[in-house]
Structure 1
Amino acid sequence: MAEAADAREGWLVGAYAAAPSRVAWDPQVEQAFFDGIWALPGVVGLELPWKAGAFHSRDERWLLEHLRDDAQIVVTTAPDTSDRHRASASFGLAATDRAGRQSAIDATRALHEALPRLREATPDGRVIAVELHAAPRPEHGAASADALRASLEELASWDWGDTRLVVEHCDAWVAGQAPAKGYLPIEDELLVVDDLRRQGAQIGMAINWGRSVIERRDADAGRAHAALAADAGVLDGVVLSGASPEVTPVGGAWADAHAPFADVGQFSSSLLTAARAAATLEAAGSLRFRGVKVGAPATFTLEERLEIIARALGAVQAVTPIAP
Structure 2
Amino acid sequence: MPKYIVGAYATAPQTEQWDAQVHADYLNGIKGLANVAGIEHAFAGHLHPEDDAWFIENVNPEWEFVFTGVPGITGNIGRNPLFGIASDDSSGRQEALRFYEKMRMAVLKLNSHLYRNAVSFVQLHTSPNRAVADSSSTSLIKSLAEMQGWDWGGAQLVIEHCDAYVDGQKPSKGFLSIDDELSAIASVNNASGSTIGMSINWGRSALETRSVEGPLAHIRLARESGLLCGLMFSGVSNVKGPYGMWEDTHMPPALPLDGAEDVYFSADSLLTKHEISRCLAAADGANLRYLGIKIGVRPSTLSALERVACNRNTLAMFAD
The answer to whether TM tops 0.5 is: yes
**Any gaps of 5 or more consecutive residues in structure 2?**
256-261
Secondary structure in structure 1 of the residue aligned to 2:103: helix
**Is the CA contact 2:107–2:153 (under 8 Å) kept in the aligned structure 1?**
no
Aligned residues: 309
Aligned partners of 1:226, 1:83: CA distance in 2, in Å?
A: 28
Map 1:230-241 onto structure 2 (within 5 A): 230-241=223-234
Alignment partner of 1:131 is 2:131: no
1:19 aligns with 2:12: yes
Select the residue among 38, 46, 59 that pairs with 2:51.
59
Indicate whether 1:218 and 2:217 are aligned. no
Contact 2:125/2:160 (CA < 8 Å) preserved in 1?
A: yes
* Cα pair distance change 1:247/1:304, threshold 3 Å: farther
Q: Structure 2 residue aligned with 1:309, among 294, 305, 311?
A: 311
Describe the shift of the 1:93–1:129 C-alpha distance in structure 2 as closer, same or farther (beyond 3 A). Answer: same
| Superimposed CA distance per residue, residues 208-254 of structure 1 (whole angstroms, 9 cap, x where no aligned partner) | 110000000001211221111011100111111111112343x3111
Aligned to 1:5: none
1:71/1:12 CA distance change after superposition, 3 Å? same
Give the structure 2 partner of residue 45 of structure 1.
38
Deviation of 1:24 after TM superposition, in Å, equals 4.2
Pair 72,212 (structure 1): closer, same or farther in 2 beyond 3 Å: same
- Indicate which of 220, 239, 247 corresponds to 2:240: 247
CA contact (8 A) 1:71 1:122 kept: no
Q: Which runs of 5+ in 1 are unaligned?
A: 1-7, 320-324
- What amino acid is the match of 2:272? T
Separation (CA, whole Å) in 2 of partners of 1:219 and 1:23: 36
Tell me, what secondary structure is at the counterpart of 2:200? strand
Q: Distance in 2 between matches of 1:174 and 1:79?
A: 22
- Specify the alignment match of 1:262 in structure 2: 254
- Go from structure 1 to structure 2 and tell me whether the alpha carbon gap of 1:189 and 1:88 turns closer, same or farther (over 3 Å shift): same
- For residue 79 of structure 2, what is the aligned residue in structure 1? 87
Q: Distance in 1 between matches of 2:220 and 2:204?
A: 15
> Which residue of structure 2 lines up, in the alignment, with residue 229 of structure 1?
222
* CA deviations over 1:263-320 (Å, ceiling 9, x no partner): 156611111111211211221121111111110121212232112111110112x13x
2:28 corresponds to = 35
Give the drift of 1:203.
Answer: 0.7
Give CA deviations for 1:99-150 in whole Å, capped at 9, x if unaligned. Answer: 0001001111111122221112333562111000000123476100100010
Q: Name the counterpart of 1:288.
A: 289
Shift of the 119–89 alpha-carbon distance from structure 1 to 2, 3 Å rule, reads same
Select the structure with the greater relative contact order (CA < 8 A; seq sep ≥ 6): 1
Partner SS state of residue 147, structure 2: helix
For the residue of structure 2 that corresponds to 1:184, the secondary structure is coil
Flag the 1:98–1:246 CA change in 2: closer, same or farther, 3 A: same
Measured in 2, the distance between the counterparts of 1:248 and 1:300 equals 18
Amino acid at match of 1:17: A
Q: Answer whether contact 1:21 1:30 (CA < 8 A) is retained.
A: no
Q: Distance in 2 between matches of 1:99 and 1:136?
A: 12
Hey, what's the Cα distance between the residues in 2 that align with 1:61 and 1:233?
38
**Equivalence for 1:299:** 301
Alpha-carbon distance in 2 for matches of 1:35, 1:141: 42
Shift of 1:30: 1.0
Report if aligned partners of 1:138, 1:144 keep a CA contact under 8 Å in 2: no
The change in CA–CA distance for 1:222 and 1:126 in structure 2 (over 3 A counts) is: same
Asked if the contact 2:117–2:154 (Cα under 8 Å) also holds between the matched residues in 1, the reply is no
Which of 160, 173, 181 does residue 165 from structure 2 map onto? 173
TM-score, with structure 1 as normaliser = 0.91
The RMSD of aligned alpha carbons is: 1.8
Matched, 1:273 2:298: no
Mapping of 1:173-212 within 5 angstroms?
Answer: 173-199=165-191, 200-212=193-205
Amino acid at match of 2:58: H
3-state DSSP class of the match of 2:230? strand
**1:152 lines up with 2:151 in the alignment:** no
